[in-house]
Amino acid sequence: MKLDINLGKYKLKALASFSKIRKEETIGYTNRCKDGKFIIFLDYDRTKMDWIINELEHLQDMYMLGDFHLFESSKDSFHAVCFDKAVLEDLIEIMRNTSIDPNYIRIPLYCGKKIWTLRLTDKKKPIKYLGKFESPHNHARPKSTAHINVVNSLFKLDLSYENEDKEEKVVLSRYPL
């Protein structure tokens, strides 16, 4: 609803919207590491897999990133996770060089704790692990053991890398669907 009220020399403009109160919650894991660095989370909505693969290959070469792990979050929507650790400035630059939703990049920067979250529980169907998109640059950056362990546990995998940081804790987040 849009409201305009003339007040002499001034005009008051207001915009209001109504939305259903959501009582359902989901749980996600965040990309922040104990040392203040971040792993790379990319959330692709309504994007074809061949486009994503091409983009990930470009990112791996441009930023010397290791393997990306791909997950189907819903029809034509995917998560790409790279366990490589990066400082905030590098993370933002990497995300801005993708075709992910710009709001996924912006909102954590201006609201909250500068952490990005990927959903672990399903909206309608379970998240599915699709596989690993391998990189020749796996030794360029240290990797987050804690995040690797979360993915291994949830998807019954046995991922490991030589250059893991050996940290054990990941921050979980609960938020409305």
Q: b/e string for 50-83 if b means 16 or more Cβ within 10 A?
A: eebeebbeebbeebebbbbbbbbbeeeebbbbbb
Mean pLDDT of the chain: 88
**Would you state the pLDDT for residue 19?**
58
**Would you state the pLDDT for residue 50?**
94
**Would you state the pLDDT for residue 6?**
83
The model's pTM is 0.82
**Would you state the pLDDT for residue 48?**
92
| 24-52 average pLDDT score | 91
Inter-residue contact 144 to 33 (CB < 8 Å):
yes
pLDDT digits (tens, 9 = 90+) for 131-163: 999 999 999 999 999 999 999 999 999 999 999
d(CA 135, CA 57): 8
pLDDT digits (tens, 9 = 90+) for 67-101: 999 999 888 899 999 999 999 999 999 999 999 99
Q: Which of 4-8, 19-23, 69-73 is the least confident region?
A: 19-23
Domain parsing of the chain, residue ranges: 22-176
The Cβ of residue 138 has, within 10 Å, a number of other Cβ atoms equal to 18
Give 52-112 as a DSSP string. HHHHHHHHHHHHT---EEEEEEETTEEEEEEEEEE-HHHHHHHHHTS-S-HHHHHHHHHSS
